[in-house]
Chains A and B, each alone.
Chain A
Amino acid sequence: MITVYCWLLCLYPGSYRGEFGEEMTSVFRDARSALSPALAAKISFYRREFCGLLSGALCAHFDRLFGSAIPFRRFNMQSQFRFPLFTVLLMLVIFAGLVLTIAEASSVAGDTLGLAWRSLVSILVFMLLIMCSTAAVVCGILYRLRRSGVHRLENVNS
């Protein structure tokens, strides 16, 4: 598992890895050795660690790329954050339009269009599934970032 952890550390920017990599691995090793033998505790520990690593890596890359130039760095999900619902609506409208057009065309023509219709629908359904799962992963990462609350630090003026 240490190997997997080290491999996942490669997701972080090189400079971050150089600064904290060894330390993080050492802390992970210590925490793992102190882990209770219960299966539930192990699952919870690994889930927490790997989710934390993924969200941390995303955060570090975002920070490295944009620095302080962007005010909402580290995915500031406070009250001003809004998920672009209009984008989802637009995608659904386009999808519905496409399906209706194909259905109409297949009712006019014969079997050739029927086959094309079926394959196109399966491709579209597949793409929709991919989009939904990607959205779920992104939302999960954003939720973890929000829970860490690190983004609030920059709002403190002292």
Chain B
Amino acid sequence: METFALSEPVLLVLLSLAEQPRHGYSILKDVESMSGGRGLLSTGTLYGALQRLLDQGWIERVEEDNPARDRRTYRLTSRGRRNLQMEIERMRHLTKVAALRIARKEA
């Protein structure tokens, strides 16, 4: 099993959906607050990412009784959640190595 680093915007979109299903604007606001205002996504970038994530089966649309075409909700699939966990694991390993190296250098 091989993993590659995701970019920060895509990672933030996935993290935003990991907490709860969200619609587009809610994802934008959540990404902004999560990244402390650094991760500002445009709608073009957001929907490009959402389309690709839908194609890859990482997220899906939530079926609603009265779906509004201008406000659809997305959620992580089990595949998306698994891949996100792998990515977080990779980052955790990286930060552990980084902390060790910094500590070694300071000692």
**Residues on A facing B (Cβ under 8 Å):** 16, 19-20, 22-28, 30-31, 48-49, 51-57, 59-60, 74, 144, 147-150, 152-158
Q: Judging by beta carbons under 8 Å apart, are B83 and A156 in contact?
A: yes
Q: Among A23, A24, A153, A158, which residue has its beta carbon within 8 angstroms of that of B53?
A: A153
Q: From A53, which residue of chain B is reached at the shortest CB distance?
A: B44
On whether the beta carbons of B44 and A22 are closer than 8 Å, the reply is no
Contact B24 A27 (CB under 8 A): yes
B5 CB to closest chain A CB, in angstroms?
A: 7
The reply to whether A152 and B28 contact each other, CB–CB distance below 8 Å, is: no
Minimum CB–CB distance for B47 against chain A, Å: 5
Chain A at the B interface: mostly helix, strand, loop or mixed? helix
Within 8 Å CB of B6, what residues of A? 149, 152-153, 156
Once A149-B8, A156-B83 are accepted as A-B contacts, the answer to whether A60 and B48 lie under 8 Å apart by CB is yes
B58 nearest CB across to chain A (Å): 7
Partner-A contacts on B (CB < 8 A): 1-10, 24-25, 28, 40-53, 56, 58, 69-72, 79, 82-83, 86
Q: B5, B51, B58: which contacts A16 (Cβ < 8 A)?
A: B51
14 further contact pairs, Cβ within 8 A, besides A147-B7, A158-B1:
A22-B69, A22-B70, A23-B24, A24-B24, A24-B47, A49-B43, A51-B44, A53-B44, A74-B52, A149-B8, A152-B5, A156-B3, A156-B6, A156-B83
Once the chains bind, are B44 and A23 in contact (CB under 8 Å)?
Answer: no
Q: Say yes or no: A150-B4 contact (C-beta < 8 A), given A27-B28, A28-B43, A158-B82.
A: no
- Partner of B42 from the list A16, A20, A52, A154 (CB cut-off 8 Å) is A52
Say yes or no: A157 contacts B2, CB within 8 Å.
yes
Distance of A16 Cα from B7 Cα, bound (Å): 23
- Contact between A150 and B10 (Cβ–Cβ < 8 Å)? yes
